[in-house]
Structure 1
Amino acid sequence: MRRLTKKIAASALALSLVFTMGTQCFAANWGSYFGGSEGWYEGAEGTLTSNTDKAWTAQMASIGYGGVWGAQVYKNGISVKKGQQYTLSFDAQSSTCDKWVYVKVSTDETLAFSDWVQLKKGSTTKYSTTFTAKANAKSVYFGIGGEFGDRQGVDTDKDAAIRYGVFTSTKGALSQLKDVDPTFSTTVKLTNFYLGAAKPAKVNLKSVKAAKKGKVKVKYKKVAGAAGYQIQYSLKSNMKSAKSKTTKKATYTISKLKKGKKYYVRVRAYNKGKKAYGDWSKKKAVKVK
């Protein structure tokens, strides 16, 4: 009975943390919770060993079997507005085992967006998606605890039905949602985190041709939703000391270039207010006449 009481109390504590984290403040960086290290024996044991605005590392001695929220990393103070488009992107890896991770953008249990990501051991998963927020949200959570798809109906895991519904609607049968042995240890690392205004798609740079009198004409395909384009050019292939021009058109002529020199050119799109930039196009080289 003492064991059952401890389990119920600890589970209630974990659920309370999921519900109330949105009211805490962790500035620009990440907060964390590892249930096994807090006395909830179903949860994961671990600690956050690195923590910056765009990255974190979770050293997990055991992944546990209390569901994804048995270990969680979260950031508060974000601002996502219902009906607006956002880009969520990051690189993530699990060092020694395949690992399902659940990411949600929400205020408590009110979801703006959520998704499941499977990490393959020893390799980096590059994740990027653009979504329209279903609700206002002020937090982003990564559930990284051991997940075995067996917590539907558990009174202290009200989120289970929600996240399992997301899984079956986007990934398929719930039987696929199986982590390794709950005693397994791994390091989950996330880098290059971005959650903000939707990034435009990558520009297709069609041509860079020399024109007369030290000029180069640049042509590229317009990107849907882009407010404008940044053109960067340099005498060095690594784009060091590059100069930039901006335009709203699909062509641009760069002038006052050094005659007889080879220049490298690339282009990227930006959204309204230049709040987010797309990826750079491939570089093209051209020799100025």
Structure 2
Amino acid sequence: MLLERPIFWLGLAGLSPPQRALLTACLPAEPGSLPAWRVAKFSEADAWCVSGAAAQLTDEGHLLVPDSRRGQPDITIDFSKLDRPLAFTKPLAWDELAPLDQFDPASERAVQMTLKKFETALQGLRAQFSLGAFIRRSLPDLQPLAYHVVHRTTLLAVVDLSLRHVHYLADVSPLQLEQAVWLARQPSGDLASGTAAATAKFAQASLSEIMWQFAQRSAADVLPEQFETGAIRLRHAPRVPKAWLKESQLTLLRMLAARPTSLGELLQQNASFNRAQLGRDLAGLYFDGAIASSHVDVAWLPASGHSSRSALLG
């Protein structure tokens, strides 16, 4: 099954407006055979591109990047806490940065090669997205069971819809996931053979986290159309790490906590919202079960007793 490609979000720092425009023009804005890349707020991005000429090393070994946009504060990067891929544009002002990834922002080929490196580093995130995309597409066929995602003889993931938990190989390739079959199993709480050797290879995530990553990176509008009308109410805080919550999502949660509000009212009351990102934010909350509407059943997963057309998906 050909799976949807994700949107990855890129943070830019220290680049002049012409440099930002030049680099942005090289980004694939829409998913095709490869993921798309779009510019996002620096702190909320999946990967970072930093001006090698503007970046400065502090005495503490941190990276200080003056923002070229007027009125924006400097950005500080602590290498000891770096949790996403990073590359510098040439030239470099500090020789100490030479061992790190760098590229020519004027070369489209160099930009594409850098994005490819980023995608390799983000393979675990892409695995989560692909699993979420399959779950969303296959909802009519899924049962409240555990599914073994198998490529040939290799177990790639165990998706337990009854326990709402997922184990997956973080280095699984997109091609393997596309060619995999989903084998329905009775939930047992065990992963594969249950041996420590098997479980050590697998990363873990809740189903809410998997679907959140999918919703935030899908180019499609995956928010149920019933949310277009009627008041949306907040049922509970999202069950994902607080560090994942973007500024737009925190604003949205505050507005919904104050009172039930329709999608149209949300757009009217906050000029910083745009329909596409608001749809992603609401979709993440919907798959998490955090929001409800008079027109939408919050239980988007099949309930016990649901019959499926097949126990073999792929």
Query: What's the TM-score, normalizing by structure 1?
Result: 0.26
Larger radius of gyration: 1
Q: Which structure shows the bigger proportion of residues in helix conformation?
A: 2
Q: Which structure shows the bigger proportion of residues in strand conformation?
A: 1
